[in-house]
Amino acid sequence: MPDQLLFAMEVTLNGLMAGVMYALVALGFVLIYKASGIFNYAQGVLALFAALTLVGIQQGQVPFAHLINAMTGMHVSHFGWTVPSILAIILTAGVMVGLAIVIEKLVLKHLVNQAPIILFMATIGLAYFLEGFGDVMWGADIKKLDVGLPQGISETVESVTDSLFGYGFFIDNLDIVATVVAVLLVTALTLFSQYSKQGRALRAVADDHQAALSVGISLRFIWILVWSIAGFVALVAGIMWGSKSGVQFSLSLIALKALPVLMLGGFTSIPGAIVGGLIIGVGEKLFEFTIGPMIGGATENWFAYVLALIFLVFRPQGLFGEKIIERV
């Protein structure tokens, strides 16, 4: 098989894996948009906050240590214990639920029946607040995140492809884990929304707030629920991306990677987030591999948006988005 074809196959596989990582971020946006019509600008910061909290709990870091030290003259930084990864993840998920309750009580509750742009603006404020809050709470240093996920080249994939094609493909073990996690997450979310009482209530709210309220569904509970789930999805995204780069404040910028995925897949579809992620991942990697060298490289950021825009020309609601028809 020609070398270029083998390389293209390797790039495609890696593009699929990268797409899954993008989709993990996009999922959080979709969940909140589906249930409340809010484009949650703070989703990237939620992933950052979740990852910071996870590392902080895991390493026994004293929250607000810098503030405490500055105000009291003490020198505290750590409690002196470490928490097992699983327990730390559970505790962090608890913190994200708590955060969802606080957001609902302090922000969303007061904005019921406001225009979507007002809610969007509120999430911008929330993003800035959470970023600063996370900084004060856990510090701005770059933290190594180790929850036991494997990283580095998959020897199995390398040896299998080597025996098949005479060239061992590179696939990152972390990407394989991310793919499995994404499949489990999407399956769980789909089952939850299709078969559980709360899931059906969530879909009812997504379809029509007023109608859902009239049959006794608590809008406030649904908002807490959906922000909690989005917080958990943010935690998963934070773990995956944080394992690659360490937990640091640029983690919030992963949201930029989710936007073209949402445009392509649709803002209201969970499978759309996955398919959109895969298309963007493969598209940008193949473009960089084939055309990139001719035009100076570094094409991935902008090409993802170009690809999404091309799809929008033919399907303005995205591949899986709901077609909105407003009759005048």
List of residues contacting other proteins (CB under 8 A): 7, 10-11, 14, 17-18, 21, 65-66, 69, 73, 77, 131-132, 135, 139-146, 151-153, 170, 172, 241, 244-246, 248-254, 257, 285, 288-289, 292, 296-298, 300-302
Least distance from other proteins to the Cβ atom of residue 41, Å: 16
Q: How far is the CB of 186 from other proteins (least distance, A)?
A: 21
Cα 119–Cα 123–Cα 127 angle in degrees, nearest 5: 170
State in angstroms the smallest separation of the CB of 235 from other proteins. 18
When the beta carbons of 14 and 269 are compared against other proteins, the nearer one is 14
- In the bound complex, what is the minimum distance in angstroms from residue 153's beta carbon to other proteins? 6
Backbone angles phi, psi at 142, to 5 degrees: -80, 125
Q: Nearest approach, Cβ of 98 to other proteins (angstroms)? A: 25
11 versus 57: smaller Cβ distance to other proteins = 11
Q: Is 198 exposed, middle or buried (CB count within 10 Å of its CB: 0-12, 13-18, 19+)? A: middle
CB 284 within 8 A of CB 304: yes
- Can you spell out the DSSP letters for 128-193? HHHHHHHHHHH-SS-B---SS---SB-HHHHHHHHHHHSSPPP-BHHHHHHHHHHHHHHHHHHHHH
Evaluate whether 264 touches 321 at the Cβ level (below 8 Å): no
CB-CB contact of 8 with 286 (8 Å): yes
137 vs 226, which CB is nearer to other proteins? 137
Comparison of 94 and 293: residue with beta carbon closer to other proteins: 293
User: What's the CA gap between 140 and 160, in Å, rounded?
Assistant: 42
Question: Which residue's CB is nearer to other proteins, number 55 or number 275?
Answer: 55
Least distance to other proteins from the beta carbon of 228, Å? Answer: 26
Is 135 or 322 the residue whose CB approaches other proteins more closely?
Answer: 135
Torsion of CA 96, 102, 106, 111, to 10 degrees: 50
